[in-house]
Amino acid sequence: MRVLGLETTCDETAAAVVSDILGGESGQILSNEVLSQIARHAAYGGVVPEIAARAHIDALAPLIVRALAHAKVDLSQIDAVAAAAGPGLIGGVLVGLTAAKALALAAGKPFIAVNHLEAHALTARLTDRLDFPYVALLISGGHTQLVAVRDVGEYRRLGSTVDDAAGEAFDKVAKMLGLPYPGGPQLESLALEGDPQRFDLPRPMLGRPGADFSLSGLKSAARQEILKLGALGEQDKRDLAASFQAAIVDVLVDRVRNGLRMFGEASGRANGLVIGGGVGANNAIRRALTRLCAESGLRFISPPPNLCSDNGAIIAWAGLERLRRGLTNDLAFAPRPRWPLDPSSSDAHHGKA
């Protein structure tokens, strides 16, 4: 089967075609077209929703044409059309969702509404043939949560941020350091040349029960250090970046360790730990989680960085997983700016779902 997937939830416009192989156990990416809007938003230091939505309108149709052409298929050879229906910026979500519905209707194909977070949670099955159940750490600019992945459509939240998301904290501290947008990758690069022990930054929630995250206090502590220093020298910036990143890593490892323990007590041993979302491309975080999993003999799967950031291939794959189970949607499906993976969990957290 082949599924066309569209992604427009934030500031990347994307279209891709994915097919299943090996009896459905994994997938093959036939095309994956992504257009970043970073240049459009850089002057504002962050994503402007109205600009993002208009850019999606301009870019999506040509990307769909390219995705089909590079996959060497036409719309009649697609088995379903999937779109990220949330969570995300409502204007952008509407663009991709409307386009997918129109294509599905015109071609007489099933339409599938995909939860953007579910797509990240299922990526390891596309890349590494991972069997259920497993645990997924989803970390991005808008989301930080640890989820038990039991099956397609069956998720239980183990922990979530009570304030800032990891990517949000990275970007805000990067902005304090005067780094260009997007700040997270810039901070990671700067941290390579810094001393992670120079600044004694807090590790919020470290050692506490449960698997919830809190990063606002860490961000505020970094700000206080900057204020104390006054004028920042280049080495100050490097050391602050390294110290901040080290604190984030310590918090994530501690919370994930607790979450894995919680999963084991409730469901038995997980088949692996998966990382997803844009911050999942951070190499310091990947190395730390690799060590954590090695300690307990657990499989750690970190998809390629281009599949951690927003893209159409993971939407198409999630759509394919749902299509195989007969989980399609009607054309009345409404966009969801907030859409928790675990419907039984509170949606009150900031950066949540």
Do domains 2-125+309-324 and 132-298 share one topology? The answer is: yes
DSSP 5-39: EEE-SSSEEEEEEEEEEGGGTEEEEEEEEEEE-HH
Right CATH for 2-125+309-324 from 3.40.50.300, 3.40.640.10, 3.40.50.10320, 3.30.420.40: 3.30.420.40
pLDDT for 34:
97
132-298 placed in CATH 3.40.50.720: no
Domain extents for the chain?
Answer: 2-125+309-324, 132-298
Distance CA 101, CA 55 (A): 19
Q: In what order do the strands lie in the sheet with 154-160?
A: 154-160, 144-151, 134-139, 273-276, 300-301
Q: Show the low-confidence residues of the chain (pLDDT under 50).
A: 348-353
Distance CA 119, CA 316 (A): 8
pLDDT for 348:
36
Distance CA 185, CA 258 (A): 27
pLDDT for 353:
39
Distance CA 156, CA 40 (A): 37
CB 3 within 8 A of CB 20: no
- Burial per residue of 266-295, b for 16 or more beta-carbon CB atoms within 10 angstroms, e otherwise: eeeebbbbbbbbbbbbbebbbebbeebbee
Q: How many CB atoms lie within 10 A of CB 326?
A: 7
Distance CA 6, CA 222 (A): 38
- For 297, residues 6+ apart whose C-beta sits below 8 A from its C-beta are none
CB 107 within 8 A of CB 76: yes
CB 191 within 8 A of CB 173: no
Q: Does an H or E element contain 154, and which?
A: strand 154-160
pTM exceeds 0.75 for this model: yes
Query: Cis omega (within 30 of 0) on the bond before 303?
Result: no
